[in-house]
Amino acid sequence: MSIIRKIILTGMAVIAIGAVWRANTTAQGSSSSGVITVFSHEKLDTSFSKALANGGSDLVWSHTSGNGTYGVSTHSRESAKSACKPEGCSHKDFTAVVYVVSGAATLVTGGTAKAPAPDKFGGEAIQGGESRRIGKGDMYLVPPDTIHWYKDVEATFRYIEVPVR
């Protein structure tokens, strides 16, 4: 019995190695070097300044392909003009990957509020929810249709947001 077991295990190992070899060869054959996009600190600083002047956000980069449109935006919550309203907002079709570049704020997520109006700031103030302090160097993910807002903002509160579909 042990000889049959060894033969079966050896056969399975050969099949597994062959499958991995084939997968690596196929992946290598269909890969391309791609284009690296660099966002210099000068470009990001300019974008943060535009964000502040434009009511809180600025699109740094956008690309459309057969898989959809991708973008990177900067956000600056440094004044009442660009502050996130207490009613909160949510993103319909994407998860937001957010990286805090400077400053701090209290991120409030979840809780109950009326359904958002056509503009992203509809509804009433969030009741309940979970609060957590975020600051420079923190990264977080906001799933689709998750009501969120920032309060107790410490200037200069700036973050980079990348929508992932």
pLDDT surpasses 60 at 15: no
Average pLDDT over residues 78-101: 78
Q: Say which residue, 116 or 142, is predicted with more confidence.
A: 142
Half-sphere exposure (Cβ direction) of 22: Cα atoms closer than 13 Å: 6
> Using CA atoms, how far apart are residues 101 and 83, in angstroms rounded to an integer?
16
| Residue percentage of the chain with pLDDT more than 70 | 67
Third-level CATH fold of 41-164:
Jelly Rolls (2.60.120)
Q: What is the pLDDT of residue 22?
A: 46
16: pLDDT strictly greater than 60: no
Domain boundaries, the chain: 1-31, 41-164
- Report the chain's mean pLDDT, rounded to a whole number: 76
pTM higher than the cut 0.85:
no
Place of tokens 């009511």: 55
Q: Is the pLDDT of residue 135 over 70?
A: yes
- Kindly tell me if the per-residue pLDDT of 133 is higher than 90: yes
Pairing of strands 57-65, 139-142: unpaired
